[in-house]
Structure 1
Amino acid sequence: MNLTLKRGLAAALVTFAGFSAALAHGFTVGDLEIGHPWSRPTVAGATVGGGYLTITNEGTADDRLVSVSTDRAGAAQLHDMKVEDDVMKMREIEDGIAVPAGQTVELKPGGLHVMFLNLSQPFAEGEKIKATLTFEKAGTVEVEFVVQQPRGEEHGDAHAGHGAQDDHSAPKAP
Structure 2
Amino acid sequence: MNRRILTGGALALTAGLALAGCSETSAGKADKAAAKPELKVAGAFMPAPAMDTMASGFFTVTNKGGADKLTSVTSGIAKKVTLHSTEGNAMKEQKSFDVPANGELDFARGGNHLMFEELEQKPKEGDKVAVTLHFEKSDPIEVEVPVKAATYNPKPGKHASH
User: Under a length normalisation based on structure 1, what TM-score does the superposition of the two structures give?
Assistant: 0.65
Larger CA Rg, structure 1 vs 2:
2
Q: Aligned-pair RMSD on alpha carbons?
A: 1.7
Q: Give the alignment of 1:1-174 within 5 angstroms.
A: 31-43=38-50, 45-59=51-65, 61-83=66-88, 88-94=89-95, 96-149=96-149, 170-172=153-155, 173=158
Q: Distance in 2 between matches of 1:149 and 1:82?
A: 25
Q: Distance in 2 between matches of 1:98 and 1:170?
A: 24
- Higher helix residue share: 2
Q: Distance in 2 between matches of 1:123 and 1:171?
A: 19
Q: Please, which runs of 5 or more residues in structure 1 have no aligned partner?
A: 1-29, 152-168
Q: Please, which runs of 5 or more residues in structure 2 have no aligned partner?
A: 1-36
Structure 1 moving runs of 4+ over 6 Å? none
In structure 1, the partner of 2:4 is none
Letter in 1 for 2:42: G
User: Under a length normalisation based on structure 2, what TM-score does the superposition of the two structures give?
Assistant: 0.70
User: What SS does the corresponding residue of 1:49 show, helix, strand or coil?
Assistant: strand
Letter in 2 for 1:171: P
Aligned-residue identity in percent: 33
- 1:18-65: per-residue Cα shift (whole Å, max 9, x none)? xxxxxxxxxxxx61010021101123x431111000011101x11011
